[in-house]
Amino acid sequence: MAFDPMLILFALLLALTGAVAGLLAGLLGVGGGIVIVPVLFMLSGVMEIPADVAMHMAVGTSLATIIPTSISSARSHHRKGAIDWDLLKGWAPFVFLGAGLGGLLAKVFSSDVLTGIFGCVAMIVAVNMVLPRQIILAPAPPASVAGRGILATLIGGFSALMGIGGGTLSVPILTLCSFPVHRAVGTASAFGLVIAVPAVLGFIWAGLDVPGRPPLSLGYVHIPAAVLIFSVSVFSAPQGSRLAHWLSPPRLRLAFALFLGLSAFRMLSAAFGG
């Protein structure tokens, strides 16, 4: 049986995406979704996936890859002592709740809305990260249950809707609260797992029996694409973690903002028909 050259090309592209996503997951604590979602969204047109489910498939599949990638990245950061376990324990229940709600809302929001959310939130965060002087809003993360509950729930909810790990939002939010960037990145790598599990379940439920999905999909998760991506990303994530502890904080923020800005531009262009 002859192999389809296009399928081979897709497989190679997904494997490359996994390598880059894993590197960024370890480097920036973002779970890799910042790369995976735009790539899957772009490939959906070539694969003739209907526009009304394309973004849902990209987000759901990205979230599925974040589970093993976050585990690999968090283990590497833990070995370097970069995870703040007290903050993680205090924020994780609210992050989990927000991610679950975000996954359930996938059934309500259209593909254009999800694309717009991704682009707008990512661009705002990217702009803040490249400001000459980092804005500081508080001397420390909120200590009250209400304060951390609101922030953590928003991080989980928007991260689930964007198909990304917690670092895209939690890293800049924590640095706004005078939290050291390396510990923010390390802790965010663990947030990725807390976000991905409930969010994936929500996207699976939301996509059951929806027409237009590609073969071998479970809800809005395309199983072959997810497996190809995370089978590579779990090995590249530790390399990104090592690189994160070599870079200085300003360089780390610049790298974070660069990839975030590029992804935001792609999503906004797609959302507004550019």
Q: What is the mean pLDDT of residues 223-245?
A: 84
Q: Is the pLDDT of residue 251 over 80?
A: no
Q: Does the pLDDT of residue 85 top 90, yes or no?
A: yes
Of 225-234, 244-253, 265-274, the range with the lowest mean pLDDT is: 244-253
Q: Which has the closest alpha carbon to 94: 186, 198, 189, 168?
A: 198
pLDDT band at 1 (very low <50, low <70, confident <90, very high): very low
Write the CB contacts of 202 (distance below 8 Å, at least 6 apart in sequence): 99, 100, 102, 103, 104, 105, 106, 160
Domain count, the chain: 1
Rounded to whole angstroms, how far apart are CA atoms 206 and 194? 19
Mean pLDDT of the chain: 84
Residue 235: pLDDT band with limits 50, 70, 90:
confident
Mean pLDDT of 196-224: 93
pTM of the model: 0.84
CA distance 144 to 138: 13
pLDDT at 274 over 60: no
Q: Which tens digits make up the pLDDT trace of 19-29?
A: 888 887 667 66
pLDDT at 172 over 70: yes
Token pair 């991704």 is found at 118
Domain that holds residue 51: 5-271
Question: Is residue 170 predicted with pLDDT exceeding 70?
Answer: yes
Q: Report the b/e string of 188-209 with b at 16+ CB within 10 A.
A: bbbbbbbbbbbbbbbbbebbee
Is pLDDT of 34 > 90?
Answer: no
Q: What is the mean pLDDT of residues 259-266?
A: 79
Average pLDDT of span 194-209:
93
| 113-126 confidence digits (pLDDT tens) | 888 888 888 788 77
Contact status, residue 234 vs residue 31, Cβ threshold 8 Å: no
Average confidence (pLDDT) over 1-22? 79
Q: Give the residue-averaged pLDDT of 241-256.
A: 71
Say whether pLDDT at 222 is over 80: yes
Q: Which residues pair with 217 in a beta bridge?
A: 222
